[in-house]
Structure 1
Amino acid sequence: MKFTNKEVILFDLDGTLIDSAPDLSLAINHMLSALQRPTFDQELIRSWVGNGAQTLVQRGLSGQSEIDQSIAPELFEKSLQLFLNFYKNNLCIETKLYPSVRACLKVLKAKGYRLVIVTNKPFEFIEPILEGLQLTGLFEMLLGGDSLEKRKPDALPLLHVCEKLSVTVEQCLMVGDSKNDILAAKAAKMESIGLTYGYNYGEDIGLHKPEAVFDDFSDIVATLS
């Protein structure tokens, strides 16, 4: 698969560019400890990542990916603040880039592609993480899960990027590791690449029919050249 006439590449963040699960796990377990609740191992928490902070907190309180609908709103709000306050100060303790991400982003930028981040992560965390992992200056635009009134899998963030950067959907490509990324691209009628290594709840990313599926981030460069 070769993608032609692309100008803008939209990247998800967690599970696509960065493995943030270790630090998200630290923050969830800090929250649970503060609430005097049982904590969980990193591998289980990893399977809850990918739908933004609020969903992750709800899963932490539920102790499973299926959210307990009886969680009291006051408990949820308190828990969310505990989580966010800890995470804000511990963004890049164990978080790391996936292999070849930095080099490939620099190559794409040098080739003239305009790079954008569209994540469901709260906006306030994006820039500090990019700084912590030496990715500053590569992205023209950053969108968080709370930047607009809707987030992935809704098409709105992707269409918003097109509008703000004055490009068509056809000139854009969405790259992500979870079904939210691919479903958002489908809803926006945008072509997409699915990555197999991130956080997709144990599901094959190919089931959602992105235009291409890659095991390695560096394959993106080859498909665009």
Structure 2
Amino acid sequence: MQFTNKEVLIFDLDGTLIDSVPDLALSINEMLKALNMATYSTEVIRSWVGNGAEVLTKRALSGSIDISADLDPAFVEKALSIFLDFYAQNVCVDTCLYPNVKNTLETLQSNGYRLVIVTNKPEQFISPILETFGLNSLFEMLVGGDSLPKRKPDPMQLEYVCETLGVNAAKCVMIGDSKNDIFAATAANMESIGLTYGYNHGENIKSHGASLVLDDFADIIDAVVPL
């Protein structure tokens, strides 16, 4: 399948462009230690990532992907603040780009596409990560999980991108690794590419209705016609 008549390519960040789990896991465990709670392996924490910082914090406090119903909101707020403080100091220590990300993004931009980040990660962390990998200049717009009142799987972030850039959803493609990316695109009447690596809680990305599913980030180049 090839997409035609597109102008804007919208990318998720964690699990799509970068593997940030090592630094997220480190910071979550430092938070748990500060609260005198049990810590978890990186792979367990990996299974909790993908729905934003607050959800990740609640899962860590619950010790499960299923969030406990009796978490005290004030305790969650305290824990989240501790986590974000630790993460701000370790935002790009062991985080790495997935294969073929930088050269593919550069090719897509040189082919005429406008590139955007839409992530559930708090906005303050986006630019430092992109700067570390020399990607900042490639993106026209960055939208974080706390940039707007709602985030993926709600379509609000994608609708905001369309409104801000002056394009309709038919001119855009959402590219991500989780069902939140695909569901947000579907709700925004936007086509989507699902990537089979990344963080999707063990679920097959093919089951969520993406317009196209790819194993390799570099294959996006062949999926979109140069402008």
Length-normalised TM-score, structure 2: 0.98
2: CA distance, partners of 1:38 / 1:150: 31
Q: For 1:36-47, what aligned pairs fall within 5 Å after superposition?
A: 36-47=36-47
Q: Identity, % of aligned pairs? A: 60
1: CA distance, partners of 2:196 / 2:141: 25
2: CA distance, partners of 1:73 / 1:141: 32
Q: For 1:68-79, what aligned pairs fall within 5 Å after superposition?
A: 68-79=68-79
Q: For 1:11-26, what aligned pairs fall within 5 Å after superposition?
A: 11-26=11-26
- Counterpart of 1:7, as a letter, is E
1: CA distance, partners of 2:162 / 2:116: 11
Where 1:218 maps in the other structure, the secondary structure is helix
Where 2:138 maps in the other structure, the secondary structure is coil
Post-superposition Cα deviations, 1:118-165, rounded to whole Å, max 9, x if no partner, equal: 000000000011111211100000000111111110111111101100
Q: For 1:57-206, what aligned pairs fall within 5 Å after superposition?
A: 57-206=57-206
1: CA distance, partners of 2:130 / 2:120: 15
Report deviation, 1:209: 1.1
Provide structure 2 residue ranges, at least 5 long, that are not aligned to the other structure.
none
Where 2:173 maps in the other structure, the secondary structure is strand
- Counterpart of 1:193, as a letter, is I
1: CA distance, partners of 2:156 / 2:82: 29
Where 1:167 maps in the other structure, the secondary structure is coil
Post-superposition Cα deviations, 1:3-57, rounded to whole Å, max 9, x if no partner, equal: 0011000000000000001100000000001111110000000000000000000
Report deviation, 1:175: 0.1
The answer to which of 131-140 and 99-108 deviates more is 131-140
Which position in structure 1 is the counterpart of 2:211?
211
4+ runs deviating over 6 angstroms: none
- Counterpart of 1:211, as a letter, is S
- Counterpart of 1:191, as a letter, is E
Which position in structure 2 is the counterpart of 1:34?
34
The answer to which of 111-120 and 68-77 deviates more is 68-77
1: CA distance, partners of 2:77 / 2:129: 24
- Counterpart of 1:224, as a letter, is V
Name the count of aligned residue pairs. Answer: 225
2: CA distance, partners of 1:223 / 1:198: 19
Alignment partner of 1:221 is 2:213? no
Report deviation, 1:114: 0.1
Where 1:137 maps in the other structure, the secondary structure is helix
Report deviation, 1:78: 1.0
Report deviation, 1:72: 1.1
- Counterpart of 1:221, as a letter, is I
Length-normalised TM-score, structure 1: 0.99
2: CA distance, partners of 1:49 / 1:216: 21
2: CA distance, partners of 1:133 / 1:41: 26
The root-mean-square deviation of aligned C-alpha atoms, in Å, is 0.6
Alignment partner of 1:6 is 2:36? no
